[in-house]
């Protein structure tokens, strides 16, 4: 089972867009791999509809999407056709057909107390092929797609600014859209934080909790 900070495994997958080598296929880009329990199920259908609705949000952040379940590729194709025909939305991103369970076992996607269907997992992978975030949901609960967009934006913001991101950012209840200065690593650094606050470089509740504009 892969963890945050691990390299995404090098694997070749069968998808609705043909065979793809991961993570090479998305080299230089962020990508979000998300698994779903099964095609032609109500909750999964609402998720795929929402992922597609937010696809431009992901692409505007330099990221691509790729889905996955243990269904055969012909099932994926028919389900995608059904969504377009009945719901009026074309699914543009590829879907992995992991009927051999190879990818699911590699990434830890099989629920140990259920059956061979995959849990609702999300892997956010950076342009270097490093797993930066992992989110798991039970089969019974659909995901919040805007939160995945927010997590991606937060990771990119941290990489650019080297400042931590608070809860519910950019609408944090304490500091709004401001970012958190990394913790002090010495007594001198702690004192310097407060001195810097007096000069207006950032604001502090205390030396260990300082924040600044993005």
Quick one: what percent of the chain has pLDDT higher than 70? 98
Average pLDDT, the chain: 95
Place of tokens 């190879």: 102
The class level of CATH for 162-214 reads alpha beta
* pLDDT grade for 146, boundaries at 50, 70 and 90: very high
Rounded average pLDDT over 75-101: 97
pTM for the model: 0.94
Whether 58 and 28 have beta carbons less than 8 Å apart is answered as no
Domain with CATH 3.30.1020.10 in the chain: 162-214
Instruction: Give the confidence band of 114 by pLDDT, cuts at 50, 70, 90.
Output: low
- Active-site residue flag, 44: yes
Q: Please name the helix (run of DSSP H) or strand (run of DSSP E) that holds residue 206, with its range, or none.
A: strand 203-206
Q: Which residue among the candidates 22, 44, 70, 124 is catalytic per the annotation?
A: 44
The pLDDT score that the predictor gives to residue 151 is 98
* Structure tokens that stand for 180 in this block: 């958190």
Residue, of 26 and 116, whose pLDDT is higher: 26
Q: Per-residue pLDDT tens for 165-186?
A: 999 999 999 999 999 999 899 9
Q: What would the pLDDT profile of 35-85 be if each residue is shown by its tens digit?
A: 999 999 999 999 999 999 999 999 999 999 999 999 999 999 999 999 999
Task: Tell me how far apart the 2 most distant CA atoms of the chain are, in Å.
Answer: 65
Query: Is the pLDDT at 113 greater than 80, yes or no?
Result: no
Nearest to 125 by CA among 1, 8, 2: 8
- In which residue ranges of the chain is CATH 3.40.30.10 found? 11-143
pLDDT value of residue 110: 85
CATH entry, 11-143, from 3.80.10.10, 3.30.470.30, 3.40.1350.10, 3.40.30.10: 3.40.30.10
Position 128 pLDDT exceeds 90: yes
Query: What's 139-193 look like in SS3?
Result: CCCCCCHHHHHHHHHHHHHHHHHCCECCCCCCCECCCECCEECCCCCCHHHHHHH
Amino acid 115: pLDDT: 67
Tell me, what's the pLDDT at 125? 98
The pLDDT score that the predictor gives to residue 1 is 78
Per residue in 5-17, pLDDT (tens digit) is: 999 999 999 999 9
């Amino acid at each position: 089972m892969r963890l945050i900070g691990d390299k995404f495994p090098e694997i070749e997958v069968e998808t609705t867009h043909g065979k793809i080598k991961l993570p090479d296929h998305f080299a230089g880009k962020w990508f979000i791999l998300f698994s779903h329990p099964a095609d032609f199920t109500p909750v999964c259908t609402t998720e795929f509809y929402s992922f597609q609705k937010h696809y431009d949000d992901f692409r505007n952040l330099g990221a691509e999407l790729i889905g996955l379940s243990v269904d055969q590729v012909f099932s994926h194709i028919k389900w995608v056709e059904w969504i377009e025909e009945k719901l009026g939305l074309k699914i543009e991103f590829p879907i992995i057909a992991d009927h051999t369970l190879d990818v699911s076992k590699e990434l830890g996607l099989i629920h140990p107390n259920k059956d061979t269907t995959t849990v609702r997992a999300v892997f956010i992978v950076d342009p270097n092929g490093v797993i930066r975030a992992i989110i798991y949901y039970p089969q019974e609960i659909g995901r919040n797609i805007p939160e995945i967009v927010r997590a991606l934006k937060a990771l990119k913001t941290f990489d650019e600014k080297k400042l931590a991101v608070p809860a519910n950012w950019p609408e944090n209840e304490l500091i709004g859209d401001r970012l958190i200065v990394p913790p002090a690593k010495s007594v001198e650094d702690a004192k310097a934080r407060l001195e810097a606050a007096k000069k207006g470089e950032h604001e502090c509740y205390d030396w260990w909790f300082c924040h600044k504009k993005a």
